[in-house]
């Protein structure tokens, strides 16, 4: 009977097929409660090892949040969950009020406005610096559009502007694979800027940078907060202290403490697992 009723529904003459409804936009990012990211009860296990254990984390819109924690605390796994690389065993992850991250693929999440900088800088080695930025540029990334895409003068200016911000304007035609480690880090930050994301996930941005470069990175991230929301995972405590307003400490896959850098540093549990070592 269910087959019959389903067939009946299919041939119902007042039925409107979804694909016929024109201009139905995907649900947009909704920030009416001023929270951009909700992670609730997230649990991820790898072969019995719980990388994330009932993790709860909320990021406010425009916030700059630092996440610290010893190795294996689940920082990278958390980013994998947010960007769609890893599916959690339990829990929910929402981007704003209306976008359920657990139902979206990696490209959909990226298109919705979450950009990620990886721990190990991963730029496209065979492409030039300019092409790396061009590839990352926000816009329609469907096959047909990209096949006939031409850079508009505005887009070209935007790429030049970002080249200036990341300090690589003289290396625009250079192969990205030939850059130094620090330059690759910067290029990846530039790619993140080109994506114009609402939420930036930045994994160890200053690893391998000189003190001057670290300082410039700190300035850049602070300047981004406000217009964008930024989540930074970092080991360098001095760097965290220089930029952080709120710090979250992860330990064994869940949140151990949260608050200002000073309050976190004086928390005896945090001292025990991490800072005291």
Partner 1 sequence: MAASSLLSRLLPMRDDRGSSAFFVVLLAVAVAVPILHLAVPEGSALHLSTYTVTLLGKYLSYALLAVALDLIWGYCGILSLGHTAFFALGGYAMGMYLMRQIGSRGVYGDPVLPDFMVFLDWKALPWFWHGFDMFWFAMLMVVLAPGVLAYVFGWFAFRSRVTGVYLSIITQALTYALLLAFFRNEMGFGGNNGLTDFKDLLGYDLQSSNTRVALFLCTAIALGLGYAASRYIVGSRFGRVIEAVRDAEARTRFIGYKVENYKLWLFTFSAALAGIAGALYVPQVGIINPGEFAPINSIEVVVWVAIGGRGTLYGAVVGALLVNYAKTVLTGALPEIWLYALGALFVVVTVFLPQGIVGLLRRKEATA
Instruction: By CB under 8 A, tell whether 10 contacts partner 1.
Output: no
Q: Which residues pair with 66 in a beta bridge?
A: 232, 247
Q: Please provide residue 58's backbone torsions phi and psi, each rounded to the nearest 5 degrees.
A: -125, 135
Instruction: By CB under 8 A, tell whether 229 contacts partner 1.
Output: no
The closest of 83, 68, 81 to 40, measured between CA atoms, is: 81
Instruction: By CB under 8 A, tell whether 191 contacts partner 1.
Output: yes
What are the start-end ranges of the E strands in 27-126? 35-46, 49-60, 64-68, 90-95, 99-100, 114-117
Tell me how far apart the alpha carbons of residues 105 and 83 are, in angstroms, rounded to a whole number: 8
116, 158, 228, 251: which one contacts partner 1 (CB under 8 A)?
116
CB of 227 to partner 1, least distance (A): 20
Instruction: By CB under 8 A, tell whether 118 contacts partner 1.
Output: yes
44, 61, 78, 110: which one contacts partner 1 (CB under 8 A)?
110
Report how many residues bind partner 1 under the rule CB under 8 A: 29
Instruction: By CB under 8 A, tell whether 26 contacts partner 1.
Output: no
Q: Which two tokens stand for residue 177?
A: 């694979």
Instruction: By CB under 8 A, tell whether 147 contacts partner 1.
Output: yes
Tell me how far apart the alpha carbons of residues 214 and 232 are, in angstroms, rounded to a whole number: 13
Tell me how far apart the alpha carbons of residues 51 and 75 are, in angstroms, rounded to a whole number: 9
Binding string, residues 85-104; x marks residues near partner 1 by CB under 8 A: x-------------------
45, 58, 70, 127: which one contacts partner 1 (CB under 8 A)?
127
CB of 150 to partner 1, least distance (A): 8
CB of 119 to partner 1, least distance (A): 13
Pairing of strands 246-251, 229-233: unpaired
83, 185, 214, 217: which one contacts partner 1 (CB under 8 A)?
83
Buried b (16+ CB within 10 A) or exposed e, 241-251: ebbbebbbbbb
Q: Are 66 and 247 in contact (CB under 8 A)?
A: yes
Query: Of the two residues 146 and 271, which places its CB atom closer to partner 1 in the complex?
Result: 146
Give the footprint of partner 1 on this chain (CB under 8 A): 83, 85, 105-107, 110-111, 115-116, 118, 122, 124-127, 131, 134-136, 138, 141-143, 146-149, 191, 195
């Amino acid at each position: 009977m269910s087959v019959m009723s389903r067939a009946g529904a299919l041939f119902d003459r007042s039925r409107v097929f979804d694909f016929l409804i024109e201009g139905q936009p995907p649900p947009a990012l909704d920030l009416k409660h001023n929270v951009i990211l909700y992670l609730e009860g997230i649990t991820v296990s790898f072969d019995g090892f719980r990388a994330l254990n009932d993790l709860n984390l909320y990021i406010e819109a425009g916030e700059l949040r630092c996440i610290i924690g010893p190795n294996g605390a689940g920082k990278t796994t958390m980013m994998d969950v947010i960007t769609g690389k890893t599916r959690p065993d339990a829990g929910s992850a929402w981007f704003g009020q209306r976008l359920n991250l657990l139902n979206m693929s990696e490209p959909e999440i990226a298109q919705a406005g979450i950009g990620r900088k990886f721990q190990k800088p991963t730029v496209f080695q065979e492409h030039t610096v300019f092409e790396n930025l061009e590839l990352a540029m926000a816009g329609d990334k469907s096959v047909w559009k990209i096949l006939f895409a031409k850079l508009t003068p505005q887009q070209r200016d935007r790429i030049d502007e970002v080249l200036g911000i990341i300090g690589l304007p003289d290396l625009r035609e250079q192969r990205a694979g030939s850059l130094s480690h620090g330059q690759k880090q910067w290029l990846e930050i530039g790619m993140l800027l080109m994506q114009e994301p609402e939420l930036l996930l930045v994994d160890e941005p200053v690893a391998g940078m000189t003190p001057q470069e670290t300082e410039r990175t700190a300035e850049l991230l602070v300047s981004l907060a406000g217009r964008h929301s930024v989540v930074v995972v970092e080991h360098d405590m001095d760097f965290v202290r220089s930029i952080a307003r709120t710090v979250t400490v992860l330990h064994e896959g869940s949140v151990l403490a949260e608050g200002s850098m000073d309050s976190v540093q004086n928390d005896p549990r945090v001292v025990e697992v991490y800072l005291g070592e």
